[in-house]
Each structure stands twice: as C-alpha cells, then as structure tokens.
Amino acid sequence: MNIPWLALLSLLLKGVAILAFFAVNAMFLIWLERKISAKIQNRLGPMVVGPHGALQLIADTVKLLLKENIVPAEADRLIWWLAPFFVAVPTVAAFLCIPFSQEWIVADLNVGILFICSITSLCVLGVFMAGWGSNNKYSLLGGMRSAAQIVSYEVPLLLSVLVVIMEAGTLSMQGIVHAQELGWFCLKPNVLLAFLIYMISATAEVNRVPFDIPEAESELVSGYHTEYSGMKFSMFFLAEYANLFIISAVAATLFLGGWLGPLRPSVFWFLIKVYGIISFLMWIRWTLPRVRMDQMMSFAWKVLTPLALINVLVTGWLLAGKG
Amino acid sequence: MCQKVYDIVAGVVSILKGLGVTGKNMFRKAVTIEYPFEKPAMTARFRGLVDLHPEQCIACSQCVKICPTAALQLEATTNPETRKKFPGVFTYNEELCCFCGLCQEVCPTAAIYLNQCYEVAYYRHDDLVKIDLLKADKYVHLAPPKVKELRP
C-alpha cells in the first residue's frame, strides 16, 4: 500500500503549528489586554514575572492546568463536558483559512470566507451548551443572551462580508487579498461602511465590551462559563482570545489588504494590521460601558441590518453600472 | 427622524470623546509604586515606631507616665560618680503602642521620638512585645532593602 507519508507529515506539522499559534497568540493577547487596560487606568499591569510581566501567562497557565475540574451538582454531564470543545475546536479550525502571507496558509479553500463564517458560527452552540449544562441560572441566562446576540449580529456581519465578496468576485481568502493589489477595499466608501458594520457586529460576535452582556461580570458572575474551572475554563478563555484574533484577521484580510503592504508583501504586514485592530478593540473595551440587552438587539435589527442591506444594494448598483 | 439622526450623531461624538479621554491617559505615566521593590518615603511628621537617642535620655520617666497604653518600661540607674541618671533598661512594647506621639511631645531632651518606619511586622511575638530601645540595631531589619537585590 502506498501511503503518502510526506503529505501526512506536512499536514501534521501544519496542525501542530496552528495549535501552537493558537495557544501562544492567546497568551500574548491576554498579556496585551492586561497591559493596555493598565495603561488606560494609569497602572503598570503585570510586572513581576519576567520582563514587564511577559511570562505571567505561563505561570497562570500552569496554575490552570493543575487546578481541579469541578462538576456542578446535577449538571447535564455529557453536554457540560462537550461544550468547551464545541467552542474551542471551530475556533482552531477557522485558522485553516487565514492567509498569513502568500505562502503561509494551511488550505486556500475556494470558499474560504464562507468556511470561516460558518465554522465560527458553531461556537454559539458550545456557548449555549455550556449555559444549559451548568445547571446554573446565571450560566443559562448568559448562554441564552449569547445565543440571541450572536445569531442576530451574524446577519449584518455576513451582509457586510457580502459587499467585499461582491467587490472581489471570489470567496477564496487569497483571491480577496489579490483583488486588493490595486488598492485596499476600505478606501471605497461603500466598503468602508461595510468595514464599520463588520467591526461593530464582530465585536458583538466575540462578546466583547460594549456587547459583553453574555458575560456581564456585574450581573451574571461570568455568564456561561461561571461553573467551569481548570482546563475547561481555560479552553473557553483561549477560544475567546483566538476568536478575537480571527475576527481581526478576517477584517484585515477583507478590508485592509491582508498581507499586502509597502515594500515586500509578507506576514509582517498582516500581523501589524491584525494586532492594530486588536489593540483598537481593546482600547474600545476599556472605554465604553456595557449596553443594555434590548438596546443591543434593537440596534442590530433596526439600524445595522437595514444599513447593511442598503449597502449591499448600493454596491450591486455600482458594480452593475461598471458593467 | 430628525431626533433619531441627532441621537446617532451625538452617540458617535460621545464615543469619540470617551476614546479621546482613555487615549490620552494611555500615554500618561503610571502612578503605581511597585511597593516591595520601591519604598516611598514618609512625610517629616509621620509617626512610626518609637525610637530613642540613648545618650540624650536623662531617665526622667515622663514618657512612661504619659504613655496612655503603658507601652514603655524604664528602669533608671544613677551614675555613682557624676550622680546623673541614665536608662538602665528601656523596653518598648509595639503591640500596645497606639502611635499617639505623646512621649515625643513630653520628652524634655528630645531623646525619645517616633521614627519613619512603617513596616512594623515581626515574625515572632516575643520580638514585638519587648523591643530594647537601648540597642542600636533594634530596627535594622526594618531598614529598606536594597532595591536591586529584590528585583527578580
């Protein structure tokens, strides 16, 4: 039997590389978040472990790994155990189609953006499972809120992505980057509006302030992951930050030209754009208060969705006018 | 409709204002003092632990009498040649002390005073209740540690 060992090995290496990036990136983002919040509040943030607290997260990870895994009484065991995987696995899978550079992409699917959007939608299932399985009213409320929020913000999100797809004429992530070689998409006014809608809905998608009502510390303890501890909690935590990276990477690819940049296009430009967007989202997080649930839902359905629909319509007219 | 548009514009402006405030603070210097590595100096009249200049003390026992919590214990000794009194035993109970500073106020020779130490914890109870004020090295362990050595 002829087994393609080399191809298998390369696949395995790519998988390991993605998992390593998943973990290291999340750790870096948590450190960055703590540092930015400290800067905004005139504090120093973690300083003791490693230079400027850079190794703090390694200490925290070791602590989380060693912690006890507590199962709440009368929890729905199977659902409770599966939930963290339903959140973490789609997040890792979404990394498959992120174009880090011309060569650095695991699989340039011809439906790349569709794949990312659909697989990250699975996360909401995990979140709701966690809320239901915990047998805790706070978790259940958090899970319900999260489901409502993610499902409604997915509509304007996808409509704004649709504008880019119409402009680029392709669903492949590399194809979208190549379509921007003459100029980034965000320089066109209709795509700029789509960018704005995308950023707002993406912030809601990953449950970040000002749309963090599923987690709302002051109301729901910690929302759907209140009852989780140890490694299961850290899976939620890592997935949260990995999701932040994914929405920023998609935003950079769709609107800001991905790995294209002055001088030589490379992974460097891509990472600069992604971490720039992430820093901006963190800046927003430590500035704005949380919005109310009904305000948030009405904003999604009454403002963002019509705006995105009109935007799609206008883009269609413009493209039809061009021939 | 007009009200709606106005609301949206006002909302965006307020978000930008908020971002401006946090953005400005991002580049300010942090106010944090990294405490165990960096010890702030106290003000001149800070009332820390009771301390003594033994050579100035005339063992008049005024401080012992005025002490509201009886934290001081003094046994006077007389020098047979000069017939002057000096403290033979002078102990201080930090556990009882209320840091009122009356001993410092009443002392005629300014021998007893409250120093600047604020790290007043001890590892053993015995050390805390019987501090020998006549010993020169009684507060050596409270002296600020060398900053560079503590930093990891």
Does residue B55 fall inside a structural domain? Answer: yes
Indicate whether B106 pLDDT > 90.
yes
Q: Total domain count for chain B?
A: 2
Give the pLDDT of residue B141. Answer: 66
For the record, the structure tokens of A297 come out as 């839902």
Report which secondary-structure segment, H or E, holds B30. Answer: none
Q: Does A44 touch chain B (CB under 8 A)?
A: yes
Q: What is the CATH number of the domain that holds B86?
A: 3.30.70.3270
Please, is A262 exposed, middle or buried when counting C-beta atoms within 10 Å of its C-beta (0-12, 13-18, 19+)?
exposed
Does residue B38 fall inside a structural domain? Answer: no
Does residue B45 fall inside a structural domain? Answer: no
Beta pairing, strands B72-78 & B85-92: antiparallel
Does residue A303 fall inside a structural domain? Answer: yes
Same domain, B136 and B70: yes
Same domain, B15 and B61: no
Secondary structure of chain B: what % helix, strand, coil (to 5)?
A: 35, 15, 50
**Nearest chain A residue to B150, by CA:** A48
Inter-helix orientation angle A123-133/A230-255, to 10°: 160
Closest in B19, B27, B32 to A43, CB measured: B32
Q: Total domain count for chain A?
A: 1
Same domain, B10 and B64: no
Indicate whether B152 pLDDT > 60.
no
Size of interface A-B (CB pairs under 8 A): 39
Question: How far lies B125's CA from each of A208, B43, B52, B137, in Å?
Answer: 51, 29, 21, 18
Contacts of A42 in chain B (CB under 8 A): 25, 28-32
Does residue B43 fall inside a structural domain? Answer: no
Same domain, B22 and B77: no
Q: Which of residues 29-48 of B touch A (CB under 8 A)?
A: 29-32, 34
Cβ–Cβ < 8 Å for A66, A73: no
Same domain, B25 and B56: no
For the record, the structure tokens of A268 come out as 């460097």
The secondary structure of residue B29, as a DSSP letter, is P
| Mean pLDDT of the region B4-28 | 88
Does residue B93 fall inside a structural domain? Answer: yes
Same domain, B73 and B138: yes
Pairwise CA distance, residues B4 & B10, whole Å = 10
3-state secondary structure A259-312: CCCCCCCCHHHHHHHHHHHHHHHHHHHCCCCCCCHHHHHHHHHHHHHHHHHHHH
Q: What is the pLDDT along chain A (323 residues), one digit of tens a residue?
A: 577 888 888 888 888 888 888 888 888 898 999 999 998 998 888 888 878 888 888 888 888 888 888 888 888 888 888 888 888 888 888 888 888 888 777 777 888 889 998 888 888 888 888 888 888 888 888 888 888 888 888 899 999 999 989 888 888 888 888 888 887 877 888 888 899 999 999 888 888 878 887 776 777 777 788 888 888 888 888 888 888 999 999 999 888 887 887 777 778 888 888 999 999 999 988 888 888 888 888 888 888 899 999 999 999 998 888 76
Please, is A244 exposed, middle or buried when counting C-beta atoms within 10 Å of its C-beta (0-12, 13-18, 19+)?
buried
Question: How far lies A230's CA from each of A8, A28, A61, in Å?
Answer: 33, 19, 9
Give the pLDDT of residue A186. Answer: 76
Same domain, B69 and B126: yes
Same domain, B59 and B25: no
Please, is A139 exposed, middle or buried when counting C-beta atoms within 10 Å of its C-beta (0-12, 13-18, 19+)?
buried
Cβ–Cβ < 8 Å for A131, A124: no
Give the pLDDT of residue A14. Answer: 84
| Mean pLDDT of the region B92-121 | 88
Does residue A246 fall inside a structural domain? Answer: yes
Give the pLDDT of residue A231. Answer: 83
Question: Interface pTM (ipTM) of the complex?
Answer: 0.72
Give the pLDDT of residue A1. Answer: 59
Please, is A192 exposed, middle or buried when counting C-beta atoms within 10 Å of its C-beta (0-12, 13-18, 19+)?
middle
State the DSSP string of B31-97: ----TTTS-PPPPTT---SEEE-GGG-----HHHHH-TT--EEEEEEE-TTT--EEEEEEEE-TTT-
As a whole number of Å, the end-to-end CA separation of chain A is 53
Structural domain including B112 reads 50-150
Structural domain including A251 reads 70-255+264-322
- Phi, psi angle pair for A257, to nearest 5°: 80, 10
Q: Does B22 touch chain A (CB under 8 A)?
A: yes
Same domain, B25 and B85: no
Does residue B41 fall inside a structural domain? Answer: no
Cβ–Cβ < 8 Å for A257, A180: yes
B7 CA: distance to closest CA in chain A (Å): 12
Same domain, B68 and B4: no
- In one letter, which amino acid is A272? I
Pairwise CA distance, residues A110 & A97, whole Å = 10
Pairwise CA distance, residues A80 & A318, whole Å = 49
Give the pLDDT of residue B146. Answer: 46
Same domain, B70 and B100: yes
| Mean pLDDT of the region B36-43 | 75
The secondary structure of residue B131, as a DSSP letter, is E
**Nearest chain A residue to B18, by CA:** A287
Give the pLDDT of residue A323. Answer: 65
Give the pLDDT of residue B66. Answer: 92
Secondary structure of chain A: what % helix, strand, coil (to 5)?
A: 70, 0, 30
Does residue B121 fall inside a structural domain? Answer: yes
